[in-house]
Structure 1
Amino acid sequence: MSNATTRIWDLPTRLFHWLLAACVIALVVTAKVGGNAMEWHLRLGHVVLALLVFRILWGVVGGHWSRFATFIPGPARLLRYLRQAAADTTVGHNPLGALSVLALLLVLGLQVGTGLLSDDEIAFAGPLTRFVGGDTVAWATGWHKDWGQWLLLGLLALHLCAVAFYAVVRRKPLVQAMLHGNQPAPAGTAASRDGLAARLLALLLIAACAAAAWWVYGLGSTPGF
């Protein structure tokens, strides 16, 4: 690995990462506090919905290292990594990290989806509960409050442990890379597009995702929809 650094994580990806982390922490806190905080829990859930949709889109049109086609590993690449993990020089997400990212996105998506369909029969009801039957609402509520919550917390704990392991044992500053976007990389490594045009595209995408999430939020208060 050379001493030269390359732009790996573009600004939209970095902002997504830290905004999502802040929202998830706030969601856990508001869920535990309950009461009036559940209104903020609902709003934050829609923020996460917008962020997740944006990340899916950015995984198609974003910077090179943010694209799913770049970092999702095939079986051969995953096996090769497992055999040579001790000599890991991966740029961007390594194969296990990529699988961790996909798992987190999927579980977060399931949590958001079931949250939109949840009803605690006291003071909180997701905006989509009126469009499905009682059995679906009951299942979504149960998953969101129990199995889904613990699965998400388990994945987050595993993610934090992996980051700590790479920082302490492997001496790879993953947190710093997600702050400034650069990583040491071999000469000739492709850099992610992170100029004004890419950032404007990201801004347009997140605006559209926010508008869609706001529309979903409004379904909960639209009579006769």
Structure 2
Amino acid sequence: MTRQPVTVESKPVWDIFVRLFHWSLAASILFAWWSGEQGGNWMEWHMYAGYSVLGLVLFRLMWGFAGSHYARFAEFVRSPVHTLRYGLKLARHEEPHYTGHNPLGGWMVLALLLLSAAQAGTGLFANDEIFTEGPLVHLVSYDLSVEITRWHKLIFDGLLIAIGLHLLGVLVHQVFKREKLIQAMLHGRKPVGISEETHAYAPLVRGLVLALVAAAVIWAMLNLL
């Protein structure tokens, strides 16, 4: 953990699975919102988008333990005390440089994962009291399903707030701090100290296997419960 060095070079940081997860989750949430607003026949697609969110989150949780160096939770989830100290330094414009997620960004990743899982998870048990029901609604009572539907709507408000804060943070770094975070999430490379250690990406086959595991778990949940 050092300040941004003067001598830098572009090095690989975000592997292909982190990048695909990031943009796929954003697209799935956006489409889920849009299709939910349309209603009618679009509700079936709304549910498919929800299944995608669950599968993506499950994959990211596994990748947080078995993925590349900068994708692992152990690398970017710091203690609350550490994060508070970072926030105070940030307010004084004295914050240290982090190659991966900074402490605030790390906690935002966890918040977005939790809210996305809760949003899609409650949708499995929700119903609109007309003709659309989640695939697991038969596992709970009607009254509980109605209550879960209310949670489904409330959690989405929280998810929107978290997304807004995330976008604000990206905007600050992208525009004011001149850090090309958006570009890095496209090509995977970031400017880091030339003397900083380079970490190889996790094997491609490992990511593919975990993606298949996540898809299989979601399929089994929807078809066997």
| TM-score normalised by the chain length of structure 1 | 0.91
Specify the alignment match of 1:31 in structure 2. Answer: 36
Q: Check conservation: 1:118, 1:141, Cα contact below 8 A.
A: yes
- What residue in structure 2 maps to residue 40 of structure 1? 45
Alpha-carbon separation, structure 2, partners of 1:202 and 1:57: 9
Higher relative contact order (CA 8 A, sep 6+): 1
Letter in 1 for 2:10: T
Residues 192 and 38 of structure 1: is their aligned pair in 2 closer, same or farther, counting only changes over 3 Å?
Answer: farther
Aligned to 2:134: 126
**Residue 209 of structure 1, aligned match among 211, 214, 222:** 214
Q: State whether structure 2 residue 176 is matched by structure 1 residue 169.
A: yes
Change in 2 beyond 3 A, CA 1:61/1:53:
same
Q: If the length of structure 2 is used for normalisation, what is the TM-score?
A: 0.91
> CA 1:21–1:42 in structure 2 vs 1: closer, same or farther (change >3 Å)?
same
Superposed displacement of residue 164, structure 1: 0.9
Give deviations 1:60-97, integer Å, cap 9, x for gaps: 00011110011001133213312322233221111111
**CA displacement, residues 193-213 of structure 1 (integer Å, 9 cap, x when unaligned):** 326xx2111011111111221
| Residue among 37, 53, 57 paired with 2:62 | 57
1:18 to 23, 37, 40: 23
Give the C-alpha shift of residue 214 in structure 1: 2.0
1:151 equivalent among 150, 158, 161: 158
Q: 1-side partners of 2:69 and 2:11: how far apart?
A: 12
Alpha-carbon distance in structure 1 between the residues aligned to 2:185 and 2:94: 22
**What fraction of aligned residue pairs are identical, expressed as a percent?**
40
Aligned residues between the structures: 217
DSSP 3-state at the match of 2:8? coil
The verdict on how the C-alpha distance between 1:5 and 1:204 changes in structure 2, with shifts beyond 3 A counting, is same
Q: Which runs of 5+ in 2 are unaligned?
A: none
Which AA in structure 2 matches 1:66? A
Give the Å deviation of 1:192. Answer: 4.1
Asked whether the 8 Å contact 2:63–2:71 carries over to 1, the reply is yes
Structure 1 residues 53-132: aligned runs within 5 Å: 53-85=58-90, 86-88=93-95, 89-132=97-140
| Paired amino acid for 1:92 | G
RMSD: 1.6
Mapping 1:131-146, distance limit 5 Å: 131-145=139-153
Aligned-residue offset at 1:157: 1.3
SS state at 1:28 partner? helix
The separation in 1 between residues aligned to 2:200 and 2:119, in whole angstroms, is 31
Greater alpha carbon shift after TM alignment, 104-113 vs 124-133 = 124-133
Q: Does the 8 Å contact 1:6/1:189 carry over to 2? A: no
Does the 8 A contact of 1:10 with 1:192 survive in 2? no
| Partner in structure 1 of residue 12 of structure 2 | 7
> What is the CA distance between 1:218 and its match in structure 2?
2.7
Q: Distance in 1 between matches of 2:49 and 2:216?
A: 14
